[in-house]
Structure 1
Amino acid sequence: MSRISKLFAEADRPVLNVYCTAGFPHLDSTMEVIRALEDNGADLIELGMPYSDPLADGPVIQASSTQALANGMTMAKLFDQLKGLRPAVDVPVLLMGYMNPVLQYGFERFCASSAEVGVDGLILPDLPIYEFETEYGPVMKKYGLDFIFLVTPETSPARIRKVDSLSTGFLYAVSSSSTTGKNKDINDQQAYFRRLQEMNLRNPVLVGFGIRDKESFAAATRHTSGAIIGTAYIRALEAGLPVQDATRKFLNGILK
């Protein structure tokens, strides 16, 4: 059983997935942030790979990506930093990013490097279904990597069924058709979350985009298996506190 499958099988509360940007706030912050998230209650970590044109990311995460690139973060540097991931960290870790830098690094080399350091799976929002099925999915499977597709409130039931059949780990339900960090009311999307729940999908569903505090986390998980927080955590890191203190304060506000 994979780390992600084990997490959902054993979870006794909604799963909290926290997004952070590799190389932010400082180049050497990556492992410090990952350890702080695990220490303070995150169940799953989504590590963003900085890219100059992140289509799905709002201004806060874009700015963290820009800062990480300015700090000197590269794909090679990222995998070098993650050499210490296992066994120092037990929770599942995903890499989230875009195809362009992955292809520049070399797709099979990327998957091999991910597996070697103990990454559990990938989120690549701009990877189309056809290319996944015909070219890239088999490579991920070869290296034992889960792959998570995204759905939105506008995704047709047929497409939801299709990507659910292809995803392993979980299904990422974008709360609204916008970029990350928008202050939308999660309660307005309960019919959408309930619809996903009633489809009895093969994969657990995690909600992302717009979850920022205890109340929105509770609302997002009323009909789902968990939720993803990104922008609000990046803002917490920007406040200037030491990483461990900022992370403890932020996660206590969600989980306590």
Structure 2
Amino acid sequence: MNRINQLFEQKKENILSVYFTAGFPKLEDTLPTLKCLQANGVDLVEIGVPFSDPLADGIVIQNSSQQALRNGMSIRKLFDQLTSVRADIHIPLIMMGYLNPIMQFGFETFCAECARVGVDGMIIPDLPMVDYINQYKAIAERYGLEFIFLITPETSEERIREIDSHTNGFIYMVSSAAVTGTQNSFDTKVDYFNRINSMNLKNPRLIGFGISNKSTRDMVNRYSSGAIIGSAFIKALEETQDVEKGVKLLLDKLEE
């Protein structure tokens, strides 16, 4: 069983997933970041492939991508860094990137490299569902990769059910129709959260975009299997310029 599926079998609630941009703040921070997140109880990690035009991301993650690219990060460099990752890391890993650089690298080559180093799944926010089904699903499945799709408050029921029927990892619930960033409250999103829960989907859900403190994390935990943290961690790394201090700062903020 894929590690993502194992996680959701073993842990039904309060899952913590953290995103970071590979190569930020320093080029060689990828493995130290993974080790530190795992050591501090993070359940799942999204490894961000830096891209010059990350459409779904707000200014914080955009800036981290620019810095990572300036540092010299590339897909090839990232796979080199991850070659021995499974010697130390046992939690599920997801590669999050955009279609353009992955296509330039070669989609099947990308999947093969993910399988080689022990990556469990992929998120490509700008990959259309129809293209995934017709062109890429069979390739991803051949390499044992779960494909994760995003939904928003504006996503139609038809599309949500299509995503649910064609995937087997989890569904990434975007908290609002906006780019990544922090928010203070999700009180206006309760109807959306309840609507998705009432659909009785087969896949578990994690909620991301905007979670940055205890109140927002607690709220999304009530309506899903857990929270995805991105910008708040990048901000912590930006502020500290140190992986261990950045992880500690993030976890402290999630208790405030």
Q: TM-score range by the shorter chain?
A: over 0.9
Deviation at 1:255, TM superposition (A): 6.1
Please give the secondary structure, in 1, of the residue aligned with 2:88. Answer: coil
1:32-47 equivalences in 2 (<5 Å): 32-47=32-47
Which letter maps to 1:185? Answer: S
Aligned to 2:127: 127
Deviation sequence 1:43-76 (CA, Å, 0-9, x none): 0000100000000000000000000000000110
- TM-score (norm: length of structure 2): 0.96
1:170-215 CA-partner distances (Å, limit 9, x unpaired): 0001110000005262121011111111111010011111111111
Query: Aligned residue for 1:233?
Result: 233
Q: State whether residues 208 and 229 of structure 1, in contact with CA within 8 Å, keep that contact through their aligned partners in structure 2.
A: yes
Residue equivalent to 1:158: 158
Report which stretch shifted further, 240-249 or 60-69.
240-249
The amino acid of 1:172's aligned partner reads Y
Identity over the aligned pairs, expressed in percent?
A: 49
Q: Which residue is 1:101 aligned to?
A: 101
CA distance in 2, matches of 1:147, 1:135: 13
Contact between 2:12 and 2:225, CA under 8 Å: does it hold in 1?
Answer: no
Amino acid aligned to 2:19: Y
| Superposed counterparts of 1:111-190, under 5 Å | 111-183=111-183, 185-190=185-190
Q: Which runs of 5+ in 2 are unaligned?
A: none
Amino acid at match of 1:57: D
Cα deviation, 1:152-175, whole Å, max 9, x if unaligned, reads 101111111011111221000111
Q: Which amino acid in 2 is paired with 1:114?
A: C
Does the aligned pair in 2 maintain the 1:40–1:252 contact within 8 Å? Answer: no
Instruction: Name the aligned partner's letter for residue 101 of structure 1.
Output: P
Letter of the 1:24 counterpart:
F
Q: How many residues align?
A: 256
Identify the residue that residue 2 of structure 2 maps to in structure 1: 2
Structure 1 residues not aligned, in runs of 5+: none
Secondary structure, aligned partner of 2:223: coil
Structure 1 runs of 4+ with >4 Å offset: none
Residue range with higher mean Cα deviation, 232-241 or 147-156:
232-241
CA distance in 2, matches of 1:102, 1:185: 35
Q: Secondary structure at the match of 2:82?
A: helix
Q: Any conservation in 1 of the 2:16–2:228 contact (CA below 8 Å)? A: yes
Q: Distance in 2 between matches of 1:160 and 1:63?
A: 31
Q: What's the counterpart of residue 67 of structure 1?
A: 67
- Name 2:203's counterpart in structure 1: 203
Amino acid at match of 2:28: D
CA–CA distance in structure 2, aligned partners of residues 187 and 87 of structure 1: 42
- Distance in 1 between residues matched to 2:23 and 2:97, nearest whole Å: 14
CA contact 1:19–1:233 (8 Å) conserved in 2: yes
Contact 2:184–2:216 (CA under 8 A) maintained in structure 1: no
- Equivalent in the alignment of 1:30: 30
SS at match of 1:232: helix
Structure 2 partner of 1:83? 83
Letter in 2 for 1:15: I
Residues 92 and 255 of structure 1, relative CA distance in 2, 3 Å threshold: farther
* Secondary structure at the counterpart of residue 212 of structure 2: coil
| Contact 1:36 1:248 (C-alpha < 8 Å) held by counterparts | no
Does the residue aligned with 1:221 lie in a helix, a strand or coil? helix
Q: CA offset at residue 150 of structure 1?
A: 0.8
Structural RMSD (CA):
1.4
CA distance in 2, matches of 1:255, 1:136: 40
Instruction: Kindly indicate whether residue 56 of structure 2 is the aligned counterpart of residue 49 of structure 1.
Output: no
